[in-house]
Amino acid sequence: MKIRFTFLLLLLMINAFAQDNSINVKRKLFFGADIGLDIIETIINNEPNKSFQGGLLLEYYFIKEFSISGRIKYYKTGLSFVEQGDYGKFDGEILSMPIDLKWEFNIYKNLKGNLKSGWSII
């Protein structure tokens, strides 16, 4: 757990210092990858269910503060449940296509925030 927290903190620090405000993003298209690991605790023997998730990302900036992004994302999902004393487990795979509208704004000096709203096709 400490390693995961340290890694996340390091990524946030790198991201905070790596931003360059001189780049003009207006009318530009960006590509990216979305990868990760899901760990879900089940109620059956408290066994962890680990799965990989991954996808591709496109983001287009209309103007400097507004963009639209779309992803194609694959991930496994799991669910364990108790029904009238019986335990059950569901393992499924999902291919989703989330689409988001994003507004970026300055909070203080080089500190920025953003609001996203969107929908997803499963």
Q: What is the mean pLDDT of each run of 10 residues along the chain (122 residues)?
A: 63 53 78 83 67 89 91 80 71 86 89 90 77
Q: Which residues contact 43 (CB under 8 A, 6 or more apart)?
A: 80, 81, 82, 87
Residue 2 belongs to some domain of the structure: no
pTM: 0.60
Residue 14 belongs to some domain of the structure: no
Residue 17 belongs to some domain of the structure: no
Task: Identify the helix (H) or strand (E) that includes residue 26.
Answer: none
Residue 98 belongs to some domain of the structure: yes
Residue 104 belongs to some domain of the structure: yes
Give the pLDDT score at 61. 92
**3-class state of residue 43 by DSSP:** coil
Give the pLDDT score at 120. 84
Residue 94 belongs to some domain of the structure: yes
Residue 99 belongs to some domain of the structure: yes
Structural domains in the chain (count) = 1
Distance (Å, whole) CA 104 – CA 23: 15
Distance (Å, whole) CA 65 – CA 105: 7
Give the pLDDT score at 66. 93
Residue 3 belongs to some domain of the structure: no
Give the pLDDT score at 56. 94
Look up residue 60 and give its two tokens.
């287009």
Supply the range of the domain harboring residue 58.
23-121
